[in-house]
């Protein structure tokens, strides 16, 4: 069994300070310049070699003689949300979306906790080289929320610049009990696809509908019809979700517009279910346009999140290490969630095992409340402890399960 690496009070205080800095200064996806500079400075202060990758991504490589190579990933981007947590270090930051819209920005998904925990794990391991041998690759990934960051790092030569690992680890804070970890065998999260669909019509006065092709009515039929895909085309023993998140059309109540658009999101664990749903969407969108005598709609893929698969043996090894570190009762087998991650894009090109788990961020009293703040909520604020310490200790334990020395 690898010798433990202890998190001291001094290191815990440093982790809290890092977390406050990250939380107070969030940045939108692929714009994480300040965050990347902070991450790089922290890693280099620990004597870890670094390089930039994928725009605002940062990679640290910590070598310690001959041995296995292991990688651990944390994401660093934030969301266009106006924070309403009331924290003394709450974000008042703003950012600019790709279309030029200025928006409030918040770490509403816990990526600040992921980064602070992994930076702390890196510092602990850099100071305990007598406890392990091999190479650790610390990946601080931008743009997870848009599904762009992992792909950008791979396309920028991540696995040509960094040693190829034998396993890749990742974790995510969720609204579970702080101090606990949940793992899943198989798929912990779904694949996800987001589209923007533009409907093309013919504009006319509202009093002369016979001269129009109404894209709003067309959109209403499409959106109603696609609600039947999951209930009538997917085996009820399997799962999928189809959500229409936005619908925009027209500028005035007495003008039938020339176009309208909506965005949709699809989630599924199984690749064949995903293919069924996406195929049905294309079929229905085209068929309803034909029924309205409208031109074929334009479909733009906004994002695509890959499968996320936990290797059975690697998961069992990590669970054993986590239970040794955190205690049997704190490491629980959970259920897959319908959320998605682009973590799989890091793993796909190198065909190695991966393990991705969740750690809780709420105290018992918050979980007992009528409404629990969840990820992407303006109220999402994981309690600092024991959340951060659990994340850091879990990262160290998982890494040592691969590179730790026997005592």
Give the residue ranges of the annotated binding site for Mn(2+). Answer: 109, 111, 145, 172, 376
Cβ–Cβ under 8 Å, residues 142 and 30: yes
Cβ–Cβ under 8 Å, residues 256 and 216: yes
Measure the CA–CA gap between 151 and 394, rounded to whole angstroms: 26
Q: Helix count (H) and strand count (E) of the chain?
A: 12, 18
- Between the alpha carbon of residue 336 and those of residues 84, 190, 202, 331, the distances in Å are 28, 8, 45, 15
Tokens of 199: 């409907």
Q: Taking Cα atoms as reference points, which of 74, 312, 306 lies closest to residue 190?
A: 306
Dihedral of alpha carbons 278, 283, 284, 290, sign: positive
Q: Taking Cα atoms as reference points, which of 329, 351, 31, 304 lies closest to residue 168?
A: 351
Residue 4 is given by DSSP the state P
> Where does 127-161 have alpha helices with state H?
149-155, 158-161
Binding-site residues: 109, 111, 145, 172, 376
Does a cis peptide bond (omega within 30 degrees of 0) precede residue 386? yes
Measure the CA–CA gap between 363 and 361, rounded to whole angstroms: 7
Neighbours of 165 (CB within 10 A): 25
> b or e along 99-114 (b: 16 or more beta carbons within 10 Å of the residue's beta carbon)?
eeeeebbbbbbbbbbb
CA 345 distance to own-chain centroid: 12
- Where do we find the tokens 């087998």? 333
- Where do we find the tokens 């990933």? 73
Please state whether beta strands 94-96 and 102-104 pair in parallel, antiparallel, or not at all (unpaired): antiparallel
Measure the CA–CA gap between 262 and 300, rounded to whole angstroms: 11
Phi, psi values for residue 237, rounded to 5°: -80, -5
């Amino acid at each position: 069994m690898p010798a433990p690496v202890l998190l001291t009070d001094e290191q815990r205080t440093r982790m809290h300070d890092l977390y406050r800095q990250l939380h107070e200064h969030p940045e939108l996806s692929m714009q994480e310049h300040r965050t990347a500079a902070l991450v790089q400075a922290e890693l280099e202060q620990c004597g870890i070699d670094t390089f930039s990758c994928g725009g605002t991504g940062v990679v640290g490589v910590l070598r310690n003689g001959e041995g296995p190579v292991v990688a651990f990933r944390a994401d660093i981007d934030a969301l266009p949300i106006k924070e309403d947590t009331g924290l003394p270090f709450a974000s008042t930051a703003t950012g600019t979306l790709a279309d030029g819209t200025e928006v409030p920005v918040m770490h509403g998904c816990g990526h600040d906790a992921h980064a602070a925990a992994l930076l702390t794990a890196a510092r602990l391991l850099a100071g305990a080289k007598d406890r392990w041998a091999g190479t650790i690759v610390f990946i601080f990934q931008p743009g997870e929320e848009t599904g762009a960051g992992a792909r950008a790092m791979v396309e920028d030569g991540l696995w040509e610049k960094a040693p190829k690992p034998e396993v890749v680890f990742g974790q995510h804070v969720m609204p579970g009990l702080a101090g606990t970890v949940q793992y899943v065998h198989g798929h912990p999260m779904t694949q996800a696809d987001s589209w923007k669909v533009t409907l093309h019509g013919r504009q006319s006065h509202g009093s002369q509908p016979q001269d129009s092709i109404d894209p709003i009515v067309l959109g209403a039929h499409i959106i109603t019809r696609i609600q039947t895909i999951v209930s009538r085309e997917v085996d009820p023993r399997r799962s999928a979700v189809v959500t229409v998140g936005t619908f925009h059309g027209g500028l005035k109540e007495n003008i039938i517009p020339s176009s309208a658009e909506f965005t949709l999101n699809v989630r599924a664990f199984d690749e064949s279910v995903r293919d069924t749903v996406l195929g049905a969407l294309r079929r229905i969108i085209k068929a309803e346009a034909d029924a309205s005598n409208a031109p074929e709609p334009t479909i733009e893929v906004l994002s695509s999140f890959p499968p996320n698969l936990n290797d059975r043996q690697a998961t069992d090894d990590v669970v054993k290490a986590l239970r040794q570190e955190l205690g049997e009762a704190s490491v629980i087998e959970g259920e897959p969630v319908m959320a998605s991650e682009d973590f799989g894009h890091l793993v796909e090109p190198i065909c190695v095992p991966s393990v991705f788990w969740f750690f809780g961020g709420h105290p018992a009293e918050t979980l007992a409340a009528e409404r629990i703040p969840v990820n992407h909520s303006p109220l999402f604020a994981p309690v600092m402890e024991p959340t951060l310490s659990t994340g850091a200790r879990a990262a160290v334990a998982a890494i040592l399960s691969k590179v730790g020395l026997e005592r």
